Amino acid sequence: MEEINNQIYLSISEINDIIHDLFANIPQFHKIYLKGEITNYRGPNRSGHHYFALKDENSLINAVIFKYDYYSIKEEFKNGDEVLICGEISSYKVNGTYQVIIHSLTQYGKGINLLKREQLKNKLLKEGLFNEEHKLPIPLYPIKIAIVTGKNSAAIEDFRFNLIRRWPIGQYKFYTCLVQGEKAPEDIIRTLKEVILDKPELIILGRGGGASDDLTPFDNEDLVRFIYNLNIPLISAIGHEINSTFVDYVSDKHASTPTGACEIAVPNYLDVINDLHQIENNLHDKIVRIIQNKQIKLNSLKDLKVFQDISNIFLERQILLNNYRIEMEQKISHLINLKQTNLENINKNIKEKLLNLINHNHLKLLNYDKIIETLNPNEIFKKGYSVLKDLNNNTIKSINDLTINQEINIYLKEGKAKAVVKEVSPYAK
């Protein structure tokens, strides 16, 4: 900037800087969508950048795809191609020109479909169909499982092999339908309605990989909304990760392959067996600790003066308690040995055995608590015994601890009473 004859003159660089800043400060130019025909394209220059122009019937605008953006563009293009682009408007300060910097480019025919797909995706997103809070949890140990896939497809064998290998106790039913083509969405919905009538615990909807065009049925709005309203958990396994569909987004869980869906759907039965053994061991240890703690408490109660005359009761209960402990240890040992010898023959009754084992041990544990409850000191009061204490709360154990006219407290089942000693006389020997 220079003042000449009382007039401010800008340099060429300064005016180009101002124009560049104007473009930079207009938000609408930061992300712009254009449709036009490619012209003046000569391929990449030495730096790997692609310069050309976009035109319509009346106008033309310079364009560039920089090297780092070109690698992400999968479409081939040439002069005369009608394309859809997304980019930003920027000025080139060196020569004072402006251009569109292209970040993505698609052929017009394909671009229309992509644009419609993006619009539907945004619509479904705004309605919350893809939100995590609407997704149902997958059952930990499902038994009744429905698999929906294409007829005579390789995916059927993948599902059958991996599901049975991982979880042989499952009950699997296969439903076949169209998985590509214009009629596929309607046929998938029809099949899912049939599945619902059978009331499975879990549904797997899958197919093998394919081209992007083959997966368009799984972007169908009616199909997406039907799956959203399902009250049965659904796992999708459609195509591969790079070809995620709207069905993948709305499903409760998504896997990129049928094998991956099986790993989500069912546990590995060997892991369940190992967990079962761990539960057995933990339960055994817990029971042993409880018995030991109860034994310690029982021994401490036996030393009290008030219980010395009923030592036979303690002895009887102790013998009974030991018998229960021996019986429990023998049963647990038998169960563990039985599990070890029958591991190779595990079948569909694994779930029932697990529940029976837990319920059996729980009942035994409740029985121990009832036994100990009968040994509670408060139960002694119910038999007519009482405890004498002086006003300092010291237990009176002998008549030598008493004096005439001494005030004492008498503890009975329902409460306590105060008394005054009027006479002290020992039993005749």
Mean of pLDDT values over 116-124: 90
- In one-letter notation, the amino acid at residue 33 is Y
Predicted pLDDT at 367: 62
Q: What is the chain's Cα-based Rg?
A: 41
Segment 397-404 shows an average pLDDT of: 87
Rounded distance, CA 65 to CA 107, Å? 15
135/129 Cα distance (integer angstroms): 9
182 exposure class (CB count in 10 Å sphere: 0-12, 13-18, 19+)? exposed
**DSSP assignment, residue 132?**
G
With beta carbons less than 8 A apart as the criterion, state whether 61 and 100 touch: yes
In a domain, 78, yes or no: yes
Residue 241 buriedness (CB in 10 A; 0-12 / 13-18 / 19+): exposed
| Percentage of the chain exceeding pLDDT 70 | 85
Same domain, 259 and 163: yes
What pLDDT is attached to residue 242?
61
% residues pLDDT > 90 (the chain): 44
Residue 124 has pLDDT above 60, yes or no: yes
- Whether residues 216 and 157 share a domain: the answer is yes
By the 8 A CB rule, do 253 and 235 touch? yes
How confident is residue 7, by pLDDT bands cut at 50, 70 and 90?
Answer: confident
CA atoms within 13 A on the CB side of 286: 12
Domain that residue 28 falls in: 2-114
pLDDT at 160 over 90: yes
| pLDDT at residue number 87 | 93
Residue 126 lies in a domain: no
- Summarize the confidence of residues 176-201 as an average pLDDT: 95
Distance CA 389, CA 385 (A): 14
Q: Which of these ranges, 30-34, 224-228, 237-241, 284-288, has the smallest mean pLDDT?
A: 237-241
Query: pLDDT tens for residues 228-259?
Result: 999 999 999 986 656 689 999 999 999 988 99
- Sign of the alpha-carbon dihedral angle for 297, 303, 309, 315: positive
Predicted local distance difference test score (pLDDT) of residue 315: 77
Average the pLDDT over each of 109-118, 153-162, 193-202, 225-234 and give the range with the smallest value: 109-118
Taking all residues of the chain, what is their mean pLDDT, rounded to a whole number? 86
Do residues 397 and 373 share a domain? no
For residues 395 and 388, give the distance between their C-alpha atoms in angstroms, rounded to a whole number: 6
Evaluate if residue 109 carries a pLDDT over 90. Answer: no
Domain for residue 121, yes or no?
A: no
8 A C-beta contact, residue 167 and residue 269: yes
Return the exposure string of 121-139: e unless at least 16 CB atoms fall within 10 Å of the residue's CB, then b.
beebeeeebbeeeeeeebe
Whether 20 and 105 map to the same domain: the answer is yes
Integer Cα distance of 49 and 67 in angstroms = 5
Indicate the number of domains in the chain.
4
Give yes or no for a contact between 63 and 85, defined as CB atoms under 8 angstroms apart. yes
pLDDT of 282 reads: 92
The residues, any chain, with a CB within 8 Å of residue 172's CB and separated by 6 or more, are 145, 147, 159, 160, 163, 164
Query: Would you say residue 200 lies in a domain?
Result: yes
Around 199, how many Cα atoms within 13 Å sit in the side-chain half-sphere?
0
Higher-scoring residue by pLDDT: 266, 215: 266
Q: Which amino acid is at 147?
A: I
319: tokens are: 């013998």
In a domain, 119, yes or no: no
Residue 144 and residue 106 share a domain: no
pLDDT confidence of residue 144: 97
pLDDT bin (cut points 50, 70, 90) of residue 267 is: very high
pLDDT at 335 over 90: no
Q: Does 107 reside within a domain? A: yes
Domain shared by 23 and 67, yes or no = yes
| Residue recorded with tokens 């544990």 | 365
Cα angle, residue 423 at apex, residues 421 and 427 outer, rounded to 5°? 120
If asked whether residues 104 and 77 sit together in one domain, one would say yes
The two structure tokens encoding residue 297: 């408490």
d(CA 107, CA 84): 6
In whole angstroms, give the CA distance from residue 320 to residue 368: 10
Q: Same domain for 351 and 285?
A: yes
Residue 223 is predicted with a pLDDT of 97
Tell me the per-residue pLDDT of 361-386, one tens digit each, with 9 for 90 and over.
666 656 656 655 665 666 667 777 78
The span from the CA of 179 to the CA of 295, in Å, is 67
Q: How confident is the model at residue 187 (pLDDT cuts 50, 70, 90)?
A: very high
Say whether pLDDT at 188 is over 90. Answer: yes
Indicate which CATH number applies to the domain containing 209: 3.40.50.261
Do 142 and 260 lie in a common domain?
Answer: yes
Q: Is the pLDDT of residue 204 over 80?
A: yes
The answer to whether position 429 is within a domain reads: no
Domain final residue pick, 265, 300, 330: 265
Q: Say whether both 344 and 397 belong to one domain.
A: no
Instruction: Residue 281: name the closest of 336, 323, 235 by CA.
Output: 336
Label residue 332 by pLDDT band (50, 70, 90).
confident
What is the β-pairing status of strands 171-177 and 144-150? parallel
How far apart, in whole angstroms, are the C-alpha atoms of residue 189 and residue 177?
Answer: 9
Q: How far apart are CA 170 and CA 345, in angstroms?
A: 15
SS3 (DSSP) at 390: strand
- Are residue 325 and residue 368 in the same domain, yes or no? yes
Average pLDDT over residues 192-206: 97
Same domain, 138 and 249: yes
Does residue 26 register a pLDDT over 60?
Answer: yes
pLDDT range class, residue 274, cuts 50, 70, 90: very high
Q: What is the mean pLDDT of residues 342-347?
A: 65
Residue 401 has pLDDT above 80, yes or no: yes
Type of residue numbered 38: I
Specify the CATH number for the domain of residue 52.
Answer: 2.40.50.140
**What is the per-residue pLDDT for 210?**
66
Domain-located, residue 192: yes
pLDDT at residue number 254: 94
Token pair belonging to 28: 């609408």
